[in-house]
Chain A
């Protein structure tokens, strides 16, 4: 039954998308069309998407193993909430979630269209309809999650049919989702966050294409899509932070980011979206960078498709697996259509995109935005190149090469330092043409505080260059935001004769977008400091211990008390109980372990972490037998700064979403 419901949902989604496309194209031709014409298609699309998602969730919750997806990715013992999250644990289900998120963004776009119906909005809805047709079409063809199992074995499904009325053969149980994915709660929420980010970038893309196709460049498309871009960026930021956190808590190698293609797939669109958020501001305020904004937004959308292709086609593991699933070629084809279509349209309409006014000086706010865009774009370019290079080399020559962490670190670290510097200086520089003396005056205090922090660091903590630079620049960024706020509030307090406290509140309220941006900058600065500390000051060790033995590591005394073995419905847990002392006092008891899910025999090592302000103690169980354990020991100094920074950056995004929209009078219209 769920197969039938799901199939109906997908078909409704396809129909709604196509209906929306045609109706919206008609409405985009003239301003006089009835806007209500789009109401029913949008609700159809949303209804179909919701139905498909509900059908999949219901099939998982009610153990309907007659669906191939359920039979091969679910087990009766999979506990809540992992049974719900199984809906996006594998390719087909994740495309259903993608479709739902896309339908939601389409609905929001339609709502703002209905408030102010015009050709630009109708055109954007048409583009969203086309993208929707593609993604629901995927579910109908190469990534159908509602295939009915027609040949069951004891523990899964061997072959299946897309026809929901086929006589189904349901296996008694399934193998359950990938053990790695049911090991931590973050894995249940991290993918939806990322999808909200990925799919949200469709909205600015749709507006850009609509503006180009209808010959309506200018800033209207930017202002209409700014909220969606911010929503997308905020969720991407959160998704990436949670992804790193999950990797740290689950993957047991003590790190959080390995420049893995799957991670890069989320980072590339984030970088370009960040560049776009800044350059859009330059166009709205100064009318410059018009063509560049089109390029950025098309690139950001294309990178989300590229990322999906990389993570979902199996091409990353090996070029050879490319042909295993039809989804790879289909996504690659779509990517090419998007690229060629968008840039072709851009070329055809470039005569409408005005020759942007040049900047008065590089030493100005817009100049610093330009440099920030250059750095972010180069950053994205480095990540794209490093990620695709092995694939391209293997496709052409058959040789296997690897581009890994050393490459990315060597290139990305200097660029990151450049970005930090720009983040600290940029907001202090006035628009148009800045007076160097004014800027120097504003820079002095933050510089002093940053350098002071650096001096404290070299005396008390570390003299490693990377750490010192990160601390100086990070503190500089945070201080410059605070100093600017205090300076502005102080000036207006003097002018009005009030006190500074309420003035700060007034400042923040009157320019929320700007100060929310500064909050995000401070978050990024915290992340940078945390990364530098964790990367350079971590200690590593390995020790074999018999029960009762004690070892010393990084100022702790660790005593191995006993092994333990527990059985839960969906897994068996084997681990070691270790008491952690510091100066003779018991700090905590840690239980690093290996979890065995279902029939899995190799086990997933799960680290045990003791977190503290000074840093984490991170224990991984390498081996255990009755005579003793082999334990890997790590410290991660300052790692909490990383999670905090990521959340602060996200908070900046959320805060700026609460800002009231700018009045049109403030906007310099570039024609």
Chain B
């Protein structure tokens, strides 16, 4: 057998292999599709960082997946299910940007870049032997101006500067819209949160559920309700704070006030004390938590002695303003005397 024939047979064998693989792959049965999972992987979990609700083990994501399964069982279409999820969970976003509207360019830009790249590559290759020989001679004879490259580079610099200008302009513009963007305003220290009504704060919080900055603002709002003794409204906010990702100080503040509210509002002494103890575990020696614990012991359990001990501890801590100091001293005096609380 000659070399060429052997060669040909080898290639025919290769082609046959390729055909075999190709046929088997193309005729593969459609994989059993897990529709809930496929849909879930398109939705960004509102409480996590960039995970889809199909992947995330968080409670919110699991609730959303249950909803997806329910709607599938009810026979709704993919589109209906996605629309409902996006509408009913604020902060849930489509992970797969649609080829329309604001996200059309994210698809088109890489395609455009590929086209430009292909043109650039083509231009780097010598056209044909004769033409290139001629052009080489020409190039040797007359040094080619390099203006074109320079122009491209200058253009790039101008573009960058324009981009920088645009960003600065946007910054200014956003500053002007500070009213619409209370959150950034407060975060940047431009807006005093005290000047904002409860309703506005509620709206801002509701619109920014997935924003990590929201914890502090929620705490401020909840504390405001707490001071107003509006426990109905304060309660869910403190719970949200604890369910989110609170700093230790935020968590302690929330536990303290939850503890006081279940005692003061519902008369649950034990639960109240255990919640306040949670706070004290997080922030040992926190004067406000200690003081409230003392009040609960005194008023709820008639444990004047225990309360007096705690009030003494409160007074030992440094950071108390005069009004509070007075209050605690009065309470201490009364509790030490064995009076019942008023």
Contacts and interface: CB of A to CB of B under 8 A. Distances in A.
Contacts of B236: none
Question: Which DSSP category, helix, strand, loop or mixed, fits chain B's interface?
Answer: helix
Interface of B: 10-11, 13-14, 17-18, 20-21, 24-29, 31, 34, 37, 41-42, 44, 49-52, 55-57, 62, 93-97, 102-103, 105-107, 109-110, 113-114, 117-118, 120-121, 124-126, 132, 139, 144, 146, 149-150, 153-154, 156-157, 160-161, 164, 167, 170, 174, 180-181, 183-184, 187-188, 208, 211-213, 242-243, 245, 247-249, 251-252, 278, 281-286
B88 to A, nearest CB: 16
Contact of A336 (B56, B57, B164, B180): B164
Contacts of A356: 124
Interface string A227-270: 00000000000000000000000001111001111000000000
Contacts of A448: 10, 13-14, 17
A468 interface: yes
A463 B27 CA distance: 8
A351 B146 contact: yes
Interface in A160-213: 172, 175
A405 B52 contact: yes
B125 A362 contact: yes
A361 interface: yes
Given A155-B248, A463-B28, A320 B164 contact: no
A358 B128 CA distance: 11
B249 A389 contact: no
A654 interface: no
A605 interface: yes
Given A393-B103, A599-B282, 5 more contacts: A252-B57, A355-B146, A374-B117, A448-B10, A540-B34
A451 B113 contact: no
A451 B95 contact: no
Given A343-B157, A374-B117, A464 B31 contact: yes
B56 A253 contact: yes
Contacts of A472: 21
A465 interface: yes
Contact of B14 (A320, A321, A350, A447): A447
Contact of B21 (A261, A468, A599): A468
Interface string A379-423: 001100110010001011111111111110001000000000000
Nearest to A322: B184
A266 to B, nearest CB: 15
Nearest to A374: B117
A378 B113 contact: yes
A381 B21 contact: no
Interface in A115-169: 153-156
A344 B156 CA distance: 9
A370 B117 CA distance: 10
B60 to A, nearest CB: 13
Interface in A252-298: 252-255, 258-261, 288-289, 291
B23 to A, nearest CB: 9
A655 to B, nearest CB: 30
A530 interface: no
Contact of A317 (B150, B211, B286): B211
A587 to B, nearest CB: 24
Contacts of A39: none
Nearest to B94: A402
Contacts of A598: 248
Nearest to A459: B24
Contacts of A339: 160
B103 A389 contact: yes
The 8 closest A-B pairs by CB, nearest first: A404-B95, A347-B153, A463-B28, A406-B96, A402-B93, A458-B24, A451-B17, A454-B21
A320 B170 contact: no
Contacts of B95: 402-407
A438 to B, nearest CB: 13
Contacts of B117: 374, 377-378
Given A320-B211, A370-B121, A455 B110 contact: no
B93 A258 contact: no
Nearest to B153: A347
Contacts of B252: 155
Contact of B106 (A320, A353, A385): A385
